[in-house]
């Protein structure tokens, strides 16, 4: 039963709820974890109704079953339904609260999200991150800034890698350069974050999206171990800024670099750069070599 439960979980992580469900349906005996894993599989796949249906058939759900149902509604932006389940829970954990808050954020109701957030009996780094990222995505920088200050200054919590990745990415999406620079400051004060290639990649992308291609290049060149994503974000940044030739030059450098191989995303960037620079023949050449030389198939 442990093995089958693990398979349900594995398929759910591949966003393949049908395979999860097949294992679930064929199991002769199921336990609580079986149900919880399957509810979560439906929730992650964006099917809160299927999650709820399974949940309703359970004789004695535990808090994880409830939380998985909340997650389904939250991901779908159905915050009010999440809340009404939440209200009827016999016991709640910090995950329950955080999930409902994220549902309101997803639904765009930052006021309700904040109200619940303020009523939480306990908050952890995840709760803080979700709320701050929620504000940042909507460009509500005063609120985001104030919360970040309180989190670091009053609570003494330090953002971890996931927190800064989410924050930096949200800054890029909403184009809030000033706040992004502040987050960059926090990163520079934490050696583990400063050394992280993933974090640097997110910064390169953020500066590009905020229109600061020079700063993006500066961060990019400072990365000692550039991975495929580092090259991809820089390439796209140059292409989006209309620097098609420089983007293609970067692609040439990438091919000489050790330990990295171009992937499908790289070629979208390369072809985009060609399209924007009007380089039809060169684009066609890259499209051909993509398949013959790099083994990347068009999708």
Partner RNA sequence: UUCAGGUUGUUUU
Which residues make up the interface to RNA (CB under 7 A)?
1-2, 5-6, 9, 31-33, 36-37, 40, 44, 63-64, 67-68, 71, 93-96, 98-99, 102, 124-127, 129-130, 133, 159-163, 165-166, 168-169, 172, 197-198, 201-202, 205, 228-229, 232-233, 236, 240, 264-265, 267-269, 272, 275, 299
Long-range Cβ pairs for the range 260-267 (8 Å, 24+): 260/226, 260/227, 260/228, 260/231, 261/228, 261/294, 262/228, 262/231, 262/290, 262/294, 262/296, 263/228, 263/232, 263/296, 264/296, 264/299, 265/228, 265/232, 266/228, 266/231, 266/232, 266/235, 267/294, 267/296
Q: What is the smallest separation between the CB atom of 142 and RNA, expressed in angstroms?
A: 20
> Shortest approach of RNA to residue 214 CB, angstroms?
19
Closest CB to RNA among 2 and 185? 2
The minimum distance between CB 146 and RNA, in angstroms, equals 18
Kindly report the length of the chain: 299
Residue written as token pair 């079986």:
34
Q: Are 78 and 43 in contact (CB under 8 A)?
A: no
Distance CA 111, CA 107 (A): 11
Nearer to RNA, 133 or 213 (CB): 133
Nearer to RNA, 19 or 240 (CB): 240
What does the alpha-carbon distance between residue 95 and residue 51 come to, in Å, rounded to a whole number?
A: 17
Q: 130 or 187: whose CB is closer to RNA? A: 130
Minimum distance of RNA from residue 230's CB (angstroms): 7
Instruction: Please identify, using beta-carbon distances, which residue of 74 and 141 lies nearer to RNA.
Output: 74
Nearer to RNA, 249 or 276 (CB): 276
Nearer to RNA, 33 or 213 (CB): 33
**Nearest distance in Å: CB 18, RNA:** 18
CB of 223 to RNA, least distance (A): 10
CB of 67 to RNA, least distance (A): 3
Measured CA to CA, the distance from residue 162 to residue 159 in angstroms comes to 8
Minimum Å gap between C-beta 20 and RNA is 11
The residue among 41 and 141 lying less far from RNA, judged by its C-beta, is 41
Long-range contacts of 149-155 (CB under 8 A, 24+ apart): 152/186, 155/123, 155/128
């Amino acid at each position: 039963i442990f093995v089958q439960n693990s398979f349900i979980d594995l398929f759910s992580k591949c966003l393949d709820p049908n395979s999860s469900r097949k294992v679930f349906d064929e199991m002769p005996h199921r336990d609580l974890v079986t149900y919880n894993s399957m509810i979560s599989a439906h929730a992650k796949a964006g099917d809160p109704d299927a999650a709820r249906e399974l949940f309703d058939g359970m004789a004695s759900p535990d808090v994880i079953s409830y939380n998985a149902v909340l997650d389904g509604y939250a991901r779908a932006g159905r915050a009010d339904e999440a809340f009404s389940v939440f209200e009827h829970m016999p016991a709640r954990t910090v995950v329950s609260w955080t999930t409902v808050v994220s549902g309101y954020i997803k639904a765009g109701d930052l006021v309700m999200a904040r109200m619940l957030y303020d009523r939480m009996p306990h908050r952890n780094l995840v709760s803080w991150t979700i709320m701050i990222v929620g504000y940042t995505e909507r460009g509500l920088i005063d609120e985001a800034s104030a919360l970040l200050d309180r989190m670091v200054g009053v609570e003494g919590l330090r953002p971890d890698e996931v927190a800064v990745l989410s924050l930096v990415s949200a800054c890029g999406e909403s184009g809030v350069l000033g706040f992004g620079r502040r987050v960059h400051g926090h990163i520079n004060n934490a050696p583990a974050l400063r050394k992280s290639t993933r974090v640097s990649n997110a910064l390169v992308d953020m500066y590009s999206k905020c229109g600061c291609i020079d700063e993006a290049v500066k961060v990019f060149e400072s990365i000692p171990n550039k991975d495929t994503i580092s090259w991809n974000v820089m390439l796209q940044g140059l292409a989006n800024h209309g620097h098609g030739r420089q983007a293609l030059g970067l692609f040439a450098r990438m091919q000489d670099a050790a330990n990295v191989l171009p992937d499908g995303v790289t070629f979208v960037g390369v072809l985009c750069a060609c399209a924007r620079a009007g380089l039809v023949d060169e684009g066609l050449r890259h499209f051909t070599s993509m398949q013959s030389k790099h083994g990347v198939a068009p999708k």
